Amino acid sequence: MKYRSAFDIIGPVMIGPSSSHTAGAARIGRVARTLFGKQPKKAIISLYGSFAKTYRGHGTDVAVVGGILDFDTDDERIPSSLTIAEEAGMDVSFTIEDTVMDHPNTVKIRLFDEDKELELVGISIGGGTIEITELNTFKLKLSGENPAILVVHNDVFGIISSVSTVLANHEINIGHMEVSRKEKGQMALMVIEVDQKIQSDVMKEIEGLENVSQVIRMVE
């Protein structure tokens, strides 16, 4: 494996004990919170593989919930996140799964509110680095490290070009982009990671495009 820096090996500044099982889990939880847009009323957290086997000892449970509470990896409140969530009125439950996943450090997070629901699958791949692999049953690949937007749209000719043209007109460089769909001609999801912050006016311009139903800013 090639590392870009020493921080890829030793991991981020964090509440331990494990960069994979604690910091990575917190980051996945925080991505779910960001995409949900607010603190949920209910969270169902399913743990797989190594996460399922060691979650209490490595603090994966408190880390995921801490992330859902919008705590960063070094937030000293993470060890108390289950209590904080309960005090905040958030119903949290865990399920331990025996399904063999593609990666041993896998978690599925389902968040609920009165009028909203989100399902996210993420993996912790070491050193606090994560990857979101599924969102509301759409397959994707999202690191959570760079500014990014998710564009929900109708699967029609020209929509990818329309979105990329808006970004180009604002001199925003695309670092990674992928599109997934469930069925031809139905709903699709565009994942776009860029090199600089995406301003609100750019978001509104993309939201105003024909056949775009929702735009979510993933990372500021």
Please report, for the domain that includes residue 109, its CATH number: 3.30.1330.90
Average pLDDT over residues 163-183: 92
CA distances for 146 relative to 8, 44, 116, 154, 159, angstroms: 16, 27, 26, 25, 23
Please report the pLDDT score of residue 26 as a whole number.
92
22 CA to centre of own chain: 15
Residue 116 and residue 212 in one domain: no
Residue 127 in tokens: 């050193």
How many whole angstroms separate alpha carbon 46 and alpha carbon 94? 6
Instruction: Report if residue 94 sits inside a domain.
Output: yes
Please report the pLDDT score of residue 18 as a whole number.
53
Higher pLDDT, residue 87 or 127: 87
pTM summary value: 0.77
- Mean pLDDT computed over every residue of the chain: 86
User: Given 86, 109, 136, which residue is the final one in a domain?
Assistant: 136
Tell me the H-state helices in 127-180.
159-169
Residue 23 and residue 85 in one domain: yes
Instruction: List Cβ neighbours of 58 (8 Å cut-off, separation of 6 or more).
Output: 17, 18, 21, 22
Number of domains, the chain: 2
Q: What is the CATH number of the domain that holds 166?
A: 3.30.70.260
Please report the pLDDT score of residue 8 as a whole number.
47
Higher pLDDT, residue 119 or 139: 119
Instruction: Report if residue 51 sits inside a domain.
Output: yes
Nearest residue to 116 via CA among 58, 32, 219, 178:
32
Higher pLDDT, residue 66 or 130: 66
10-66 pLDDT tens trace: 444 445 445 556 888 999 999 999 889 899 999 999 999 888 887 776 689 999 999
186-215 pLDDT tens trace: 889 999 999 988 999 999 999 999 999 989
User: Given 100, 115, 136, which residue is the final one in a domain?
Assistant: 136
Instruction: Report if residue 120 sits inside a domain.
Output: yes
User: Given 109, 136, 163, which residue is the final one in a domain?
Assistant: 136
Residue 47 and residue 130 in one domain: yes
Instruction: Report if residue 1 sits inside a domain.
Output: no
Please say if the pLDDT value at position 137 is more than 70.
Answer: yes
Confidence label for 103 from pLDDT (cuts 50, 70 and 90): confident
CA distances for 46 relative to 27, 63, 92, 122, 214, angstroms: 16, 13, 11, 11, 27
Please report the pLDDT score of residue 10 as a whole number.
43
Q: Exposed/middle/buried for 130, CB within 10 Å: 0-12, 13-18, 19+? A: buried
Higher pLDDT, residue 16 or 216: 216
The residue range of the domain holding 28 is 7-136
Residue 20 and residue 121 in one domain: yes
Helix (H, G, I), strand (E, B) or coil at 116: coil
How many whole angstroms separate alpha carbon 134 and alpha carbon 127? 21
Residue 69 and residue 128 in one domain: yes
